[in-house]
Each structure stands twice: as C-alpha cells, then as structure tokens.
A and B are shown apart, each in its own frame.
Chain A
Amino acid sequence: MMSSIRKEMRKKKINAFIKSYKSNRMGMIGGTILIIFIMVSLIGPIILPFDTMKFGEADNVLKPPSKEHILGTDDLGRDVFRNLLAGGRISLMVGIFATIISMFLGTAVGIISGYIGNKTDIVLMRITDFFLVIPWLPLVLVLAAILGTNIWNIILVIGLTSWAGTARVVRSQTLSVKERPFIERIRAIGADDKTIMMRHILPNVFPLVFANTILVTAVAILSETTLSFLGLGDVTRSSWGMMLHYAFQSGAASTGAYWYFLPPGICVVLVVLAFTFLGYSFDEILNPKLRRR
C-alpha cells in the first residue's frame, strides 16, 4: 500500500518537473536542438562515414553545394557535410568528457574547501582564484602545447582549466549545508569527515552541480573550438573547430567558399546556445528563487 502511494508521489513529482520544463520555452528550444544534434552526430557518421585521410579528386576541390555534395567540398576535395557530421561527434565528446573532469574537480575542491575550512580552505581557494583570474587562453595554449595536441590531452586541458567557477559555487553551498543541524547529528553518530562529505553533503549540493554541469559543457565545447581553430586541435580527428581552422587556412572566407566555414560555425553557435538555454531553464526549475509563478 505504502509503496504504491510513494510511487504515485514520485510519478507526480516527475510529472510536475516535466510540466514546468515544458512550459519553459527556452528549455524546450535548447532541449530540442540538443536532441537533434546528439541523434544526428550519433547516427550520421554511421550512414555517411568520413575519413580525414581520404582526399577527393584534384578537380573536385572547394566546389559549391551540389546534388552529390549537399554542402560542397573542402580544399582537399572532401565532403563538407560528412565532415560536419563526424566533427559534431568529436566536439560533443570533448565537451562532455571535459565537463566530467571539470565537475569532478570543482565539486571535490568545493566540498573539501567548504567543509574542512581553515588552512585547507585558504590554500584551495587561492588555487581556485589563480584559475579564475589567470587569462584563460594563454594558459590553455601553453598547456596544450606542452602536453601535445592529442584529443585526450585537449579534454584534460579543458577540464583542468574550467573547474574554478564550480568550486566556488559548490563551496558556498557547502558552507550553508554544513551548518545545518543534521550534520552535527551525523558527527555525534561518530562518522568521520569523509563519510559526511560523500554521503551527506554531496547529495545536498548535487542539484547545484547538475545545473552547473550543463553550462560548463557549453563552455567546454566553445573552448575546444577555440583551441582547434588556433591550430592546437587533434589533426587526426576532425572537429568543428578543426574545420574552421582548415577553412581559415585555405582562405575559404576570402574566396567566398561560404559552404566551408558557415556550417561548422553555425553548428557551434547552435549547440552552445542550446546548452546555455537548457542550463538556464534547469536552473530556473530547480532553483525555487528563480521559479516563475
């Protein structure tokens, strides 16, 4: 009996979440765009595979859109549309993996700093400040150059440089959670700090981490594009940033080959916008202070 009531209540809660999500236009637009992009970049390359090393015929270079190539060809005679599909996969992958690293670091630093306090807090927060204030681009350029331009290194570099904001937010929430009476009770039970942080503080700051994750993903995708565009991308894999890089190098903009640089540009903008919309709408739904009545 009891469990059926609980199931009912949970169902109601989920329904309420879906309902308030559906009434959020920004969230709906963001979600729809994202789903389309994720589906296309998952299925697309299977139907229309793309090989970076397979160049086209010499007379088939930088050709405008045609029946055979819907988005034309690039300076090496490769199909731009196929490249776009494959690039989406890489861009999304980098974005998501970098975000996982960033969230893990940011949450860990934030909780430890906020909960332990004292000297630990001071040291960790000064490191955080360092990452917050240092000009991001030069730091990333240097790191990427030192580590080498492998896709996993790029993920690592982006993850390592984008956690500071999350750490700050999580720390402030931890400071408020740790003063709640139930933390005192858990200490009275005889639990150690690790248990308190992992089992009690983490679940309580999680909604915040979750809403932040989506926003960080947008930044991570943009970062990958920036790095690749500046020539620090992985040359063996073609992301949207790499496409823009090659398009710029081959002078696509000055020769009027709009089909080469516009599609990846638009895709990056759309995906970043979609993540941002989604992030803000989740923030609005999960954060009672921002909820519309």
Chain B
Amino acid sequence: MALLRVNNLKTYFQISAGIVKAVDDVSFVLNNGESMGLVGESGCGKTTTALSINKLLPQEGKIVSGEIFLEERNILKLNDSEIKKIRWNDISMIFQGAMNALNPVMKIGDQIAEAIILHKKVSYKEAIEKSEELFKLVELEPKRISNYPHEFSGGMKQRAMIAMALACDPKLIIADEPTTALDVMVQAQILNLLDKLRKEVNMGLILISHNLSILGETCDKIAVMYAGKIVELGNVEDIYDNNMHPYTNQLLSSFPNIHKEKKIPEPIDGIPPDLINPPSGCRFHPRCLYAENICKEKEPEMIKINENHDYCCHFGGIFNE
C-alpha cells in the first residue's frame, strides 16, 4: 500500500518581488518501506517539497493546490493540532546541517526525550531510557545522552539527529541533505546506518541530496527535480542506465564515473532559472544541449515508459542517438 502519495503539489512563495513557484506540479508515490531520493541543484524545490509534506513552510510559503496523502489521510486538510500530532510521530525529519539543529543550551538526551514525551504518554525517566536505547541503535555510547551538543563531533551530532528522528517510530523519515557538512568517511557511515535502520524498522525514507552517487547507493528510486518540477522519476537502475531526460543525463555526466571510460566531467552550463518568471515551455530548454523550437513553446508532458519510470521531455533519450 502506498505510504505517501503526493498529487500535483504546488507550493508558492509570496515575496515582494513576486510569486516564486518553488514547487510546481509535483507528483510521486512512496510505498511502505521504500526509499526515494530527491535530487537536483540548489533552489530547485527539494527542501520545499519536504517541508510541504509536514506543513512546516515559512510564513511566506503557501501550498496552492494539490493533495498529500499519508496512508489514507490528506495532510493538507488537517488542522493545526492534528498536524502537530502527525509531526515526528508519523513523519520525522533529519535536517540540513545537524550542527545547528540541536539547541546548544540543552542536553542532547533531554532534546530527544522532549520529542518522545510530546507524543507518547511516558514519564521523563522512561523517555530517557528510550533515548539511551536509541543511542545504542545509532552506535553512540548511551552514557553520552547527558552531553551538550558542543561536546559532540559533527558525525556524532548527525547520529544523534538520526536517533531523534527514530524516537517515535515514525512511518516516514525525510532526510534533508543529512550528510552535507560531513567528510566523506563519515558520510558513508551515516548513509549505511540510515539504510540499515530503515530496513530494520521498515519505514519509508525520502533522502534529499544534490549528490546522485549518494542516492544511487541508498535508494530504491530517484526523482530528479529541476526548477520546481520532477523531470524524471524511476528506479535507481532506470535513472542510471536508461535515463531519458537530458538534465538527468547531464547531471550524471557532471561527475566522474569510476566504472566507465575516463573522461573529464562536463559541467552543466548556466544557472538554475529564476522561479518568479520561469522559462516558457520546457523549463530546462535554455540550458539544454538538444533544445529545439518546440521546447520553447510547448511544455512537455509526463511520459510513462513503464510502471516505475516517467520522464518529461519532447525528445526523450535523444542523447543516445
């Protein structure tokens, strides 16, 4: 059964310069126990999608239309107190930059216990015991729950954040660039840990990153986002080997592949478009190597190759010819 269904989600930001269409018509399905990667450049709407899912958008942000179903419930129709119950209990988050996601003047154990006490009817003592168990789970010494955040290293803080995300046995974890500020060794450890825990407790995972190679290792499927839209969605194999969208293709060739021939990675020229006045037609056309007139005029539709693989381009797979 589908754990999370997002249908035609549109999230816009009202700022003084105009309306920023940060997420524009995004749809995807995440099944129970499945992990999905969300990849794209900075400012293409990955984090906004994630924040929309548990309605944590800043004041300027509004979900204009669409539906988000968590199992049977439409999250967008819930009121404030109902959504507060869902947060962390059903959907928890691991934030960008764990360094800053912990309150510096509170013991880490107390911060985890706080999350547990908010949602479960347990005493402080039981919550602390649970925090110790969680610390064991993420391979931290249980005694260290009485430390303050500054006494932890970056990797340890991220582990503590994962422990906190698991505190209420959520059905879905959204990890927003969980490894961004960490070195490569620790990145691998954190990702392996996330993957292991996810399989153990059978929960859904949305992993947001701008690094496709990270997603390839941990995810079942990948959604590639560009300028507020999903341009290609498919299983990891589809995205890596049978990608159809020029953006996916260029994203993949912009970093070295150790299994293929040696060549200098090609960057994608240009910058992501202004989302207040996005380009007409296909939003990628100003940077696309294969763009034709039709790309400027007509917005391409989602094309389904098979059950799991969709893409959104007039000339899908043109780069293979």
Residues of A with Cβ closer than 8 Å to B?
Answer: 2-3, 6, 180-182, 184-192, 195, 199-200, 203-204
Contact B100 A190 (CB under 8 A): no
Cα-based distance from A192 to B106 in the complex (angstroms) = 18
Q: Which residues in window 78-104 of B have CB below 8 A to A?
A: 84-89, 92-93, 95-97, 100-104
Q: List 24 A-B contacts (CB under 8 A).
A: A2-B143, A3-B146, A6-B146, A6-B151, A181-B101, A184-B56, A185-B93, A185-B95, A188-B54, A188-B87, A189-B92, A189-B114, A189-B118, A190-B86, A190-B88, A190-B89, A190-B115, A190-B118, A191-B118, A192-B84, A195-B118, A199-B114, A200-B103, A200-B106
Cα-based distance from A199 to B106 in the complex (angstroms) = 9
Q: Which of B93, B101, B144 contacts A2 (CB 8 A)?
A: B144
**Nearest-Cβ distance from residue B99 to partner chain A, whole angstroms:** 8
Contact A188 B84 (CB under 8 A): no
Cα-based distance from A5 to B144 in the complex (angstroms) = 12
Contact A182 B101 (CB under 8 A): yes
A190-B85, A192-B84 known; A185+B114 contact, CB < 8 A: no
Residue in A closest to B161 when the chains form the complex, CB atoms: A185
**Nearest-Cβ distance from residue A171 to partner chain B, whole angstroms:** 18
CB-defined contacts of B101 to chain A, threshold 8 Å: 181-182, 184-185
**Nearest-Cβ distance from residue A130 to partner chain B, whole angstroms:** 27
**Nearest-Cβ distance from residue B96 to partner chain A, whole angstroms:** 7
A187-B56, A190-B84, A190-B85 known; A204+B118 contact, CB < 8 A: no
Let me know if B119 is at the binding interface, CB within 8 A: yes
Cα-based distance from A191 to B146 in the complex (angstroms) = 21
Let me know if B1 is at the binding interface, CB within 8 A: no
CB-defined contacts of B86 to chain A, threshold 8 Å: 190
CB-defined contacts of B151 to chain A, threshold 8 Å: 6
Cα-based distance from A188 to B88 in the complex (angstroms) = 7
Cα-based distance from A132 to B262 in the complex (angstroms) = 70
Residue in B closest to A202 when the chains form the complex, CB atoms: B105
A190-B89, A200-B106, A204-B103 known; A181+B84 contact, CB < 8 A: no
